[in-house]
Amino acid sequence: MIILFNSTPLVGVTVILLRFSPAVGDAKLVTAQLRGIGYLDRMSEPKRRFLERAALLAAPTPTVIGPDTVIVGNIRGRGHFIVSGEIHGDGELEGALHLAVTANWHGTVHADQAIIAGKITGGLIVKDKLEIGYTAVIRGRVSARTIAIAKGAIVDGQIEVTSDAPVVEFEEKREGR
C-alpha cells in the first residue's frame, strides 16, 4: 500500500489519495525517500519502541489451552503457548510456554522459554530462560540455560543449568502472593 498526500487545497479541504499496489523495493528506503531523511539516520527511541511493540502485535495469535480442556497426545508447534488445562503427552514447542496455576502437564516438555506456575510430571527442557513460580510443582528433570525459582516452588528431580549462570531464587512479587 502506498499513501500519497496531496497538499493542494480543494475548497479548503486537504485531499488524501490512497493507492494500493504491490510492495516495491526496500521499505526503509521508500520511507526515507518519502520523509526526505537519510537512509542510515538513527530512528528515535520512542519510534523504535513503537515499532517493536507493533511487531509483537503482528505476531501470530498464541495457542491457548483453556482450564476445562484435557488433551491426550503429543503436542508440536511454533509460537507462544498458554496452557491452563491438562495435557497427557510430550510437547515440542518452538517458542514460549506459559503454564498457568490451573495447568497439569504429564509428559516431557521442550520449549525455547518458559514460565511455569502449574504442575509438570515428567520433565522440562528449556533452551533459554526458565522461570518457576511459587505455585509450581515439577516432578522430573529440569534443564535450561538460566533458571529462576520462586520461594515456595517445588522441584522434585534433577536441575541442570546449561550455562555458567547460577540458579536464581526470588520472592514472588506478583498479585496473589
DSSP string for 115-166: EE-SEEEEEEEESSEEEE-TT-EEEEEEEESEEEEETT-EEES-EEESSSPP
| Per-residue confidence (pLDDT) for residue 61, from 0 to 100 | 83
- Which has the minimum average pLDDT: 60-69, 73-82, 133-142? 60-69
What is residue 66's three-state secondary structure?
Answer: coil
pTM of the model: 0.66
- What residue segments make up the domains of the chain, in order of their start? 2-57, 63-170
The pLDDT tens digits for 111-144 are 999 999 999 999 999 999 999 999 999 999 999 9
| Per-residue confidence (pLDDT) for residue 39, from 0 to 100 | 42
| DSSP H helical ranges for 7-86 | 27-35, 45-57
User: Does residue 24 surpass a pLDDT of 50?
Assistant: no
| Per-residue confidence (pLDDT) for residue 132, from 0 to 100 | 95
- Angle (CA) 143-127-157 rounded to 5° is 10
| Per-residue confidence (pLDDT) for residue 32, from 0 to 100 | 47
Average pLDDT over residues 31-56: 50
Average pLDDT over residues 59-78: 91
What is the C-alpha separation between 76 and 89, in angstroms, rounded? 10
How far does the chain reach from its first CA to its final CA, in angstroms?
49
User: Does residue 77 surpass a pLDDT of 60?
Assistant: yes
| Per-residue confidence (pLDDT) for residue 173, from 0 to 100 | 75
What is the C-alpha separation between 144 and 3, in angstroms, rounded? 47
